[in-house]
Amino acid sequence: MTLDHVSFNVHPSKYEDVVAWYLAALAPLGYTKQMDIPGIACGLGDSPHTAKFWIGTNENASGSGMHIAFKAKDHTTVDKFYDEALKAGGTDNGKPGVREMYHPNYYAAFVFDPVGNNIEVVDHVAH
């Protein structure tokens, strides 16, 4: 089975800030806003037909505790994600580097988004 898309909700009061953070943090991966239902939901992806990452609103959303890992094409992209995510207001949860406990080529960085979700970008290829 192939995953089609992923979505999560945030409280409407945090929606615009969270969307702005993801647009900045995921820019190094080529992610942009592909679909938009203003104030309700938006889909991000790397082409018009790949809005696979969705952010929506819900009055009851707490918005924390989720872990999402995005695949990067190389170590430089992981590094750029980390820098952009911190510049946009994210919180460090693991600087870019090899995580040998997963496997010898697992190069990743971890950042908490504005509502506390653990966001990872990883490259599995040795460079």
DSSP string of 57-101, one letter each residue: E-TT----S-EEEEE-SSHHHHHHHHHHHHHTT-EEEEEEEE-TT
Domain that holds residue 77: 6-58+66-123
pLDDT 10s digits, 32-73: 999 999 999 999 999 877 888 999 998 887 767 788 999 999
Whichever domain contains 109, its CATH number is 3.10.180.10
The token pair at 21 is 């953070």
pLDDT 10s digits, 83-127: 999 999 999 999 999 999 899 999 999 999 999 999 999 999 987
In a domain, 86, yes or no: yes
In a domain, 36, yes or no: yes
Which positions ≥6 away from 2 have C-beta within 8 Å? none
Which pTM value belongs to this model?
Answer: 0.87
3-state secondary structure of 34: strand
In a domain, 26, yes or no: yes
Terminus-to-terminus CA distance in the chain, angstroms? 30
In a domain, 11, yes or no: yes
In a domain, 73, yes or no: yes
Domain count, the chain: 1
In a domain, 51, yes or no: yes
In a domain, 19, yes or no: yes
In a domain, 1, yes or no: no
Taking a C-beta distance cutoff of 8 angstroms, is the pair 44, 22 a contact? yes
CA distance 68 to 58: 19
